[in-house]
Amino acid sequence: MSKKSAVVLSSGGVDSTTTMAIAQDQGFEIYSLSFDYGQKNQYELECAQKVASFFHVRKHLIISLNLRQIGGSALTDNIPVPRNRAKHDFASAIPVTYVPARNLIFLSVAVAWAESKNITDIFIGVNAVDFSGYPDCRQAFIRSFEQTANLGTRLGVEGNSQIVIHTPLMDLGKKQILQKGLELGVDYQLTSSCYDPAPSGKACGKCDSCQIRKKGFQEIGQADPIL
Amino acid sequence: MSKKSAVVLSSGGVDSTTTMAIAQDQGFEIYSLSFDYGQKNQYELECAQKVASFFHVRKHLIISLNLRQIGGSALTDNIPVPRNRAKHDFASAIPVTYVPARNLIFLSVAVAWAESKNITDIFIGVNAVDFSGYPDCRQAFIRSFEQTANLGTRLGVEGNSQIVIHTPLMDLGKKQILQKGLELGVDYQLTSSCYDPAPSGKACGKCDSCQIRKKGFQEIGQADPIL
């Protein structure tokens, strides 16, 4: 019997890389999907490529879609990425690093790719614990998207099986995510999480994303291999 | 009081152009959105530009997103566009001209643009009468998408008003769409509907889309200005 395949959204960061490890551990052959959307962290695309090689994915696709034309986020625009914020500041309200409808767009393209290959399983590394401020990381959004995808595609309407959006990290904090990934042999040196790294790719260590990552490594008693 | 704004998806065809006329007639200031997605009909992007000028839109944005990388459609791939098919052949099953998850992707990007401009109204010219074979032209899909968009965006979660996806053509056939457009002063000479026109932009007259258009003009007793 041929192996079942899955499309895995990959940003080259801790969460999506751990998600890929979980998908592979569940027996899926991986089609990894990344986006060059005009993000300040272009280095993450190199990381996503390295991660794809590490997992021997079947195919790694990078889709270009310039969200700078749309604007509205510190990750793509000329808006400073906040640094050294206290945890309670970035865990509650929607931060300026939110990119309008990003996961909606990324998931939609993932569905298109999956559909063209008759793949019904899609993995995304969203988690509502550390990123509770992002509406597009919440369970309610993901389940609603799944339903919409099944109503709007050939696969969902004609297929014998339904599109499933897997979110294995949904209820995990960074500590648990790292534990899970290390258990599965992930090499986090390949990853990048910073919202706005140096041109060399070196993480700033101070943006919300770097802080969450650093705290996660501290909690498991290990040094972050990229800091 | 400042005018209310709307994002209108524009392909440069009959349906989206009529939809734009309706949105304008309802008092909306228009932000028109088109996609260079690797479609064989690149001429339609010129038409979308002419239509944007005709309606004096506030801004016309063309987003590049190469769906040829994804494949699976006669509109983007090396798959022949069917010609001279009988009506019952293209009104029932999902045709090869279906582009995987296209409206899901287009609407998602429209939501992103709308959100970045605090716009809650989005117009799309889908209709389930002539394109009953396309799952992403149906009411159930659109309503589900609307709900998903409101769950996954800042606007939907924090805003005082909800994102609304307007589909004024949903229950209209081509004859009624043309009647409505002509009533509102649309110049259909600016539009293009062919799935695979000559390099000059000249419509083939034989693909499903050309046939539906031709029949619509016949039914209102007028010649199609582009044939």
Residues B56-89 pLDDT 10s: 999 999 999 989 898 888 888 788 888 887 766 6
The whole-number pLDDT of residue A1 equals 45
Q: What is the rounded distance in angstroms from the CA atom of residue B205 to the CA atom of residue B85? A: 12
Residues B177-221 pLDDT 10s: 999 999 999 999 999 999 989 989 999 999 988 999 999 999 999
Report the run of H or E that residue A11 belongs to, with start and end.
none
Percent of chain A with pLDDT over 90: 66
- Is residue B50, in this structure, part of any structural domain at all? yes
Q: Report the gap between the CA of B219 and the closest CA in chain A (Å).
A: 30
- CB proximity B67 to A under 8 Å: yes
Mean predicted confidence (pLDDT) in B148-165: 87
- CB proximity A67 to B under 8 Å: yes
DSSP string, B73-90: -TTTSSSPPPBS--HHHH
Q: What is the rounded distance in angstroms from the CA atom of residue B72 to the CA atom of residue B97? A: 9
**Do the Cβ atoms of A144 and B141 come within 8 Å?**
no
Q: Write out residues 16-45 of B within 8 Å (CB-CB) of A.
A: none
Both structure tokens of B56? 């004096």
- CB proximity A173 to B under 8 Å: no
Both structure tokens of A137? 């990381």
Chain A residue numbers touching B113 (CB-CB < 8 A): 70, 100
Please report where in the chains the tokens 């899609």 appear, as a residue.
A122
* Out of B61, B103, B157, closest to residue A135 by CB: B157
Residue of B106, B141, B155 to mutate, testing the A interface (most A Cβ within 10 Å of its Cβ): B141
The whole-number pLDDT of residue A78 equals 81
Any idea what the CATH number is for the domain that residue B142 is in?
Answer: 3.40.50.620
Both structure tokens of A88? 């309670």
- How many structural domains is chain B composed of? 1
Q: Report the gap between the CA of B68 and the closest CA in chain A (Å).
A: 10
Of residues A98 and A56, which shows the higher confidence score?
A: A56
DSSP string, B183-199: HTT--GGG----SS--T
Cα separation values, A121 from A4, A156, A163, B52, B149, Å: 9, 12, 6, 39, 21
Both structure tokens of A3? 């192996």
- Is residue B226, in this structure, part of any structural domain at all? no
3-class state of residue A221 by DSSP: coil
pLDDT at B93 over 80: no
- Is residue A225, in this structure, part of any structural domain at all? no
Please report where in the chains the tokens 């419509």 appear, as a residue.
B203
Nearest to A163 by CA among A176, A150, A173, A151: A150
Positive or negative, the Cα torsion across B94, B74, B141, B125?
negative
Tally A–B CB contacts below 8 A. 150
Chain A residue numbers touching B124 (CB-CB < 8 A): none
**Do the Cβ atoms of A100 and B154 come within 8 Å?**
yes
Which residue range(s) make up the domain with B185? 5-219
pLDDT band at A95, cuts 50/70/90? confident
pLDDT band at B1, cuts 50/70/90? very low
pLDDT at A56 over 90: yes
Q: Exposed, middle or buried: residue A2 (CB in 10 Å: 0-12, 13-18, 19+)? A: exposed
- Is residue B192, in this structure, part of any structural domain at all? yes
- Is residue B30, in this structure, part of any structural domain at all? yes
- CB proximity A60 to B under 8 Å: no
pLDDT at A17 over 90: yes
The whole-number pLDDT of residue B158 equals 79
**ipTM of the modeled complex:** 0.93
Give the distance from CA A122 to its chain's centroid.
12
Chain A residue numbers touching B141 (CB-CB < 8 A): 148, 151-152
- Is residue A227, in this structure, part of any structural domain at all? no
Number of H helices, E strands in chain B: 8, 5
Residue of B37, B96, B151 to mutate, testing the A interface (most A Cβ within 10 Å of its Cβ): B151
- CB proximity A1 to B under 8 Å: no
- Is residue B63, in this structure, part of any structural domain at all? yes
Helix residue spans in A92-226 (DSSP H): 102-116, 139-151, 154-158, 174-183, 208-219
**Do the Cβ atoms of A153 and B105 come within 8 Å?**
no
- CB proximity A78 to B under 8 Å: no
Give the distance from CA A62 to its chain's centroid.
14
pLDDT at B152 over 80: yes
Chain B residue numbers touching A66 (CB-CB < 8 A): 63-64
Cα separation values, B182 from A178, B17, B50, B188, B224, Å: 61, 11, 17, 8, 12
Q: What is the rounded distance in angstroms from the CA atom of residue B17 to the CA atom of residue B48? A: 8
Mean predicted confidence (pLDDT) in A213-224: 93
User: What is the Rg, in whole angstroms, of the alpha carbon atoms belonging to chain A?
Assistant: 17
Q: Helix A174-183 crosses helix A208-219 at what angle (to 10 degrees)? A: 60
Q: Helix B102-116 crosses helix A102-116 at what angle (to 10 degrees)? A: 170
Phi, psi of B59 (to 5 degrees): -155, 140
* Out of A94, A136, A153, closest to residue B100 by CB: A153
The whole-number pLDDT of residue B92 equals 61
Q: Tell me if B119 sits within 8 A of B92, measured CB to CB.
A: no
* Out of A99, A112, A136, closest to residue B100 by CB: A112
Residues A147-195 pLDDT 10s: 999 999 988 777 677 999 999 999 999 999 999 999 999 999 999 999 9
* 3-state SS string for B5-43: EEEEECCCCHHHHHHHHHHHHCCCEEEEEEEECCCCCCH
pLDDT at A59 over 50: yes
* Out of A111, A115, A152, closest to residue B141 by CB: A152
Strand bridging mode A5-9 / A29-36: parallel
The whole-number pLDDT of residue B91 equals 60
Cα separation values, B100 from A115, B67, B110, B127, Å: 6, 9, 17, 17
- Is residue A188, in this structure, part of any structural domain at all? yes
**Do the Cβ atoms of A102 and B109 come within 8 Å?**
no
Mean predicted confidence (pLDDT) in B93-119: 91
Q: Tell me if B198 sits within 8 A of B204, measured CB to CB.
A: yes
CB atoms within 10 A of CB A161: 10
pLDDT band at A131, cuts 50/70/90? low
